[in-house]
């Protein structure tokens, strides 16, 4: 009944939309399709390679970054080209795209963006490294977690989350040190990373974490699989209307290339202390 009323409302509003000159898609084959003015994949790809307009390259790359078909070879090459673009916005969009659709052997390219001059690019790089697994990212992420080397809070907090997938003594000590970061967001993500790596939880108590690590020669015996953060929200009321797209919710997953150690999978898990 609700959908029928919504469709009736659409039909009533259609003449007003036309008289007001609102944009509808040329060549539309249905009433609902008339309101879809987003670029097609081919149009977005053309935008993404517009050598004369950085804004079009940015918008086209971002559109493709958020599409499920972004892992196809054609788009992969486009992202690999644009991650080196002279425009920071284009680099940021391409970095996000590789995080969404890339492969573990592309991690070195994303690692390079952790040292980008533009903070938005560095933020996207830290988030992208949560979704791809490659140990070459460990040291750059540890550096990005250091407040003396990375001034941006969001980069540091996202780097802490990305380290959740690497059971390494170097990572363990860096995350414990991050408990002294002046920003709570960094402390909190370091805590979540430590909990995933160790199966323990000493909240934000650096001294307790350090003591536990010192007393345990196998700190990763209770490691749990890392599931990276995703975008997800409930639909707003108007998104139940038949001509309104649903929110771009993502599915939870482990990083591409991440393999949970089989010897740990068969080991009983001690309860967190």
pLDDT, tens digit, for every residue of 42-53? 999 999 999 999
Percent of the chain at pLDDT exceeding 70: 82
Q: Is the pLDDT of residue 35 over 90?
A: no
Q: Exposed, middle or buried by CB within 10 Å (0-12, 13-18, 19+), for 93?
A: buried
pLDDT at residue 166 in the model? 97
Percent of the chain at pLDDT exceeding 90: 64
pLDDT tier, 237 (very low <50, low <70, confident <90, very high otherwise): confident
Residues 6+ apart with CB under 8 A from 99: 110, 124, 127, 128, 129, 130, 131, 132
CA distance 46 to 39: 10
Q: Map tokens 């990763």 to a residue.
A: 220
Segment 141-164, tens digit of pLDDT = 999 999 999 999 999 999 999 999
| Whole-prediction pTM | 0.81
Structural contact between residues 164 and 192, judged by C-beta atoms closer than 8 angstroms: yes
Q: Exposed, middle or buried by CB within 10 Å (0-12, 13-18, 19+), for 70?
A: buried
Highest mean pLDDT among 4-13, 47-56, 241-250: 47-56
* Mean local confidence (pLDDT), 217-224: 95
Structural contact between residues 171 and 140, judged by C-beta atoms closer than 8 angstroms: no
Higher-confidence position of 62 and 23: 62
* Mean local confidence (pLDDT), 4-22: 42
Lowest mean pLDDT among 22-31, 105-114, 205-214: 22-31
| Angle at which helices 73-82 and 41-48 cross, to 10° | 30
Torsion-angle region of 21 (φ positive above 0: left; ψ -120 to 50: alpha; else: beta): left
Helices (H) and strands (E) in the chain, counts: 13, 0
Q: Map tokens 């000159």 to a residue.
A: 21
pLDDT at residue 266 in the model? 38
Structure tokens at 226: 């890392």
pLDDT at residue 55 in the model? 96
pLDDT at residue 162 in the model? 98
pLDDT tier, 218 (very low <50, low <70, confident <90, very high otherwise): very high
pLDDT at residue 231 in the model? 83
DSSP structural state of residue 204 = T
DSSP structural state of residue 132 = B
Q: Which long-range contacts (CB under 8 A, 24 or more apart) does 229-238 make?
A: 229/130, 229/161
Structure tokens at 171: 């990572």
CA distance 247 to 235: 6
């Amino acid at each position: 009944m609700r959908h029928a009323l919504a469709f009736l409302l659409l039909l009533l509003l259609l003449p007003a939309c036309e008289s007001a000159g609102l944009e509808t898609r040329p060549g539309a084959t249905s009433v609902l399709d008339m309101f879809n003015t987003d670029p097609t994949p081919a149009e977005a790809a053309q935008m993404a390679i517009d050598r004369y307009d950085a804004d079009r390259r940015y918008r086209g790359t971002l559109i493709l970054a958020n599409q499920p078909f972004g892992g196809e070879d054609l788009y992969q090459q486009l992202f690999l080209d644009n991650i080196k673009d002279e425009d920071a916005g284009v680099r940021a969009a391409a970095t996000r795209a590789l995080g969404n659709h890339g492969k573990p052997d592309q991690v070195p390219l994303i690692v390079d963006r952790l040292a980008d001059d533009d903070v938005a690019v560095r933020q996207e790089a830290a988030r992208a490294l949560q979704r791809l697994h490659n140990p070459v990212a460990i040291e750059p992420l540890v550096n990005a977690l250091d407040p003396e080397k990375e001034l941006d809070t969001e980069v540091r907090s996202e780097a802490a989350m990305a380290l959740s997938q690497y059971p390494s003594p170097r990572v363990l000590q860096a995350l414990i040190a991050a408990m002294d970061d002046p920003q709570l967001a960094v402390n909190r993500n370091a805590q979540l990373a430590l909990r995933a790596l160790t199966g323990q939880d000493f909240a934000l108590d650096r001294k307790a974490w350090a003591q536990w690590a010192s007393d345990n020669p196998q700190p990763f015996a209770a490691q749990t699989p890392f599931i990276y953060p995703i975008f997800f929200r409930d639909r707003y009321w108007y998104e139940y209307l038949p001509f309104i797209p649903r929110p771009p919710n993502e599915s939870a997953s482990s990083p591409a290339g991440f393999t949970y150690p089989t010897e740990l999978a068969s080991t009983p898990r001690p309860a967190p202390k």
